Structure formats: C-alpha cells, structure tokens
Amino acid sequence: MAYTSIATAGWASGGGVQAAYDKLFRWALKSNLVCEPLADVQPEDPTSNGSSVTLFKQAYFASADVVAATTPLNEEADVTPVKLPAPAAVVLTPTEYGLAVVRTEKLDRRGLVPVKPIIAQAVARHAGEVIDYLVQTELRNATNLFRAQNRASTVTITQTDLLRATDIRKSVTTLRANMAAPRDMNGNFVGVFHPDVVHDLREETGSGSWRVPNEYGTDQNKIWNGEFGLFEGVRFIQTPSTLRTTDNDGASSEIVHRSFIMGAEALAKAEFQAPTTVVSPQTDLLKRFFGVGWKADVAYKIFRNESLIALQSASSLT
C-alpha cells in the first residue's frame, strides 16, 4: 500500500513539510536602569547654552567667623567688616552621544517578522544603557570612598572582603555628619548595589547584621526603579548594571563591586539636548534606506561630594 507520509519520498519530502519558526522574537535579559533619575540638580536659569554651564554653591561663614562673633561688642567701637565667603563652582560640559541603525526596504519585504519594532526597542535600550553608564562613571569619582575591611587600596581587596552592615552604618553616619540632606521626608538616603553584594550583606550573621527591611506595604509613592526596601536609613536599589568587565581589579584579579549611597543634590546634570529618538530623512535616490537612532547632549557631575559615598567590596558569588 502506498502511503503519503513524511517518511517516504513524495509530497511531504518534496516541499510539503517545512521547518517552522516562532514569529515572536523574545528579547535577551537585561538589567534595570536605575541611576539617571538620581541626578536631582539641574541648571534652573542658565544664561545660554554655551560650551559649558557652571553651577554655584554659596558657602556660609567659616567656624572662625562664628567664634570671633561670640566676643561681646565694644560699645564705643565699630566692628571690622569681613568678606562674604566666595561661592564654589561646579562646571558641567555637555557632550554629544548617540547611535543610529539603518534598515533596507528589501529587508522589510522579506523579513520573518516586522523589523521596525525590533530596531526601535534595541535603539531605545541602547540609549538608556549609555546614559546609565555615564552616570555611574561620574559617581565613581566620589571623594568619600570606603572599602570593605578598611582595605587601603582597590588592588588589595580579596574575595573575603564583603560588604557588611557596619559599612552601611558608617556611610549613613558620614552623610549625616556631613549634613547631607536626605532623599525623602523620613530622613533616608538611597543606595545602589549589585545583587551579589546585597546577598552577602543579607547573609551576615551576628548582632547588628541584616534585618528584614521595610518593604513599604501599600505605600508605593516615589519608589525608584529596582528599589525593594529600607535598611539602616538607606533605601536599597539592586541592579547588575553596576558591574563592568573592567572591574576585576582587586587582588589576584578579584572582581571589585562598586556601590553608592547618596543624599540629595549629590549629582547634577546639564541637558542641552535630552535623549531623543531621531528618524533620519531618506536621502538615497530610490528611497530604500530607513534610519532611526537616538542622540543626546548631556553631562553629569558630582555636585556635593559631602552627599555621596562610594563603596568597594568583593562578593562570595563572583
């Protein structure tokens, strides 16, 4: 008996049966982007969009001026005038960034799935990652730098130098001693940590170690992306984006994780052009090439070092 089947030559093997493909393209995994919204200082009344923009911080009188004024006035003598303290300047120099993708008309006609939404998603994600990278690069310039186990330098950090609850308390104490303003009405600061670092912190045992954080319950107002709770006066944000391929700079190439705890006005930004999508005009003679991309003209700068703590530690997981 003759069977029309896949196993024998005939209709199926002649092209009637083909390999199938899922037309849904799923995206690879990516970490959340969290750092850009933490820049809370911007120029409010710039003279123009120049080559740079300078922000000023007006200083108060020094302690010596305060002590000098505790001496009673002489009834018959005038006071000696003093100079007003000079303001400090923070200069931001915006720079252009961007990327573009060009697709062909022929691809549109032959693609398994519409390619335009895929390009749009990839370009938008690229823009966010570049901005997040720029922000974290500037945060690494913090002058208040604490290393786990009080290591003297980055290159001496070993795998056992884990972040501990005492490091969080030390950071918060330093911020408060610096008179750094908190990030919310309850007096809390915000911290950005790699999940591996948080894991070690939560694994710590003994008095004063990790306790169940306040997870806010139904109060979800002003929750930053990736934030999951409050511990020791720090609102914790987890993101793998803090780790870079160049961070194996500890002892014996140990991976050194960078974490940040900050108060208000720790970071400033200047935007001459906020990140925006660009659809390129068609300039080829047959109008077969379609371009889409993003561009920005921005700068990020530490505004108050007193409001920023940088932490370095290893992890038992990496």
Inter-residue contact 254 to 159 (CB < 8 Å): yes
The reported pTM is 0.86
Going residue by residue through the chain, which has 318 residues, state the pLDDT in tens, using 9 for 90 and above.
Answer: 777 777 776 777 777 778 888 888 888 888 777 899 999 999 999 998 889 999 999 999 999 999 999 999 999 999 999 899 999 999 999 999 999 999 999 998 988 888 899 999 999 999 999 999 999 999 999 999 999 999 999 999 999 999 999 999 999 999 999 999 999 888 999 999 999 999 999 888 777 777 655 555 555 555 555 566 788 999 999 899 999 999 999 999 999 999 999 999 999 999 999 999 999 999 999 999 999 999 999 999 999 999 999 999 999 998
Q: How far, in Å, CA of 38 to CA of 304, rounded? A: 13
Inter-residue contact 142 to 310 (CB < 8 Å): yes
Domain boundaries, the chain: 146-268+305-313
- The C-alpha R_g of the chain, in whole angstroms, comes to 28
Task: Write down the architecture of domain 146-268+305-313 according to CATH.
Answer: 2-Layer Sandwich (3.30)
Q: How far, in Å, CA of 39 to CA of 60, rounded? A: 24
Query: Would you mind telling me the total number of residues written for the chain in this entry?
Result: 318
